[in-house]
Structure 1
Amino acid sequence: MRPKKNPQKDLNKKSGMFFVIGLLLVLGMVYTALEWKTFDPIYNIDVAMNDIDPSIEEEAPIFQLEVTPPPKPPVLPTEIEIIEDDDPFEETEIIAIEVTPDTEVVDPTDFEVIEEPEEVKVNWITIEEVPVFPGCENEKDKRACFNDMMQKHIRKNFRYPEIAQEMNIQGRVNTTFMINNDGTIGTIKKRGPHDVLEKEAARILSKLPKMTPGKQRGSAVKVSFAIPITFKLQ
């Protein structure tokens, strides 16, 4: 029996080739779609080619600056006016000191010599009789009593500054103050980590009571005393 179709015309034999050709076409289209780039159009406008309206006329304004002439030199007066000064003029009388045979010899004993007392300052360690804090008059060891009363005074008047608490400022303030020869508190010197603590330490020492002054060789003298005040946050 003869086949109905010609074997040479059978397209199934070339299906693989058609598949490869179709695949290549699809890949080419995909590649072209991915690599396709578009750019914004560029408009080149030549400004120099613009025509200027000849009816427009521009003129630059002209400013005229006024030159200030130099000042004229002052004219001296032809006549000099004399003004009389009514203020009295005090002349210093100069006494000439010339030694002559008639010069009177002055006895040195006729002059009164005024001696100014020399101010003596003694520190706490070398003072013979230390200043007496009020309440320590009858104590045998007045140095120890003085130190105890100083500590009590500091604890009683101690006040931690609020601004120092907020800023977390703490540390030790070294203070030195003078007990005058009349028992009052003199110059207070302080040195610490911050001005706020130094001011508080000075305030505490300024509230010290009047004391019995210290004595050196039987005379009242100034005595310097140093004490540290510690500010510590809990």
Structure 2
Amino acid sequence: MVKKLIALLFFFGCISIYGQSDDEIPYFPLEKIVLEECADQENSNCLVNLIKEESEKVLKKFDFKTHFPALTVNDTIRLYYHLEIQDKNKLVVEDSRGSAYIYTKKFQTKEYETANEILDDSVSIVLSKIPAIKILNKKSLKYNPQHRVLLLYKVDPSNENRVEHIGDKIPYEGAVIQKIPMFPGCNEFFPQEKAKRCFNQKMQEHIRIHFKYPRKALRNGIDGKVYVNFSVSKEGDVENIRMRGPHPILEEEAKRIVQLLPKFEAGKSNGKPIKTPFSIPINFQLQ
């Protein structure tokens, strides 16, 4: 009987920057998007204020009673905007995106899939309302600075969609430059693409070295895919390992492999260590 293992690694919203030490990466002053009409105002938040204003118009008009009949004023709605810009101070609306997420499990089921898509489409319209912009403290595109605006709202459908802005999940102060956790043995000064390949090669090598197809699974013909989620902490340690697969035997083997990962150099956001989530689907196949 031939044993096969296939493991794919996915990064959640992480961009790697290698070839320079943190001291050499120009995190600050932060690259920032402002509206051209108020670019000269110190610490201007006119962009975020416009996005808030247009977001509230969308939420006010949205037919929650039809699409989310169980929504109440106690449910929190998160609006997320990713702003993509060109080299020439231009917002690329077609590459930017807006989305909404309601922090209530009942609305994250298949039953509400279409309703969530309709809400996302409505929120995305906000991006088309952004006029001419100006980029302050422009960074090289190789750093891939990320511009994100996250807003939190409550809506009361029983009171003509009364909208209440309850805060910004992450206040927009400028772009974020991120580095993924570094796998031991990958040279920090590799070019970016080479560094990514090194990380993935090291991960695959780790899995090949430590993988053992469980004997009980072999005897009983147990196979299938196990999804392993985990985080690399601010200190570079692997933590919060969670598995979901077709059988506990396979889940435990996948967990054992991940537990044996070495200590990483922690991921960073604008130079500060951050907790970074990962997901690895491991496919156990018998032939």
- Higher relative contact order (Cα pairs below 8 Å, separated by 6+ residues): 2
TM-score (norm 1): 0.46
TM-score (norm 2): 0.38
Higher percent of residues as strand? 2
Which structure is larger by alpha-carbon Rg, 1 or 2? 1
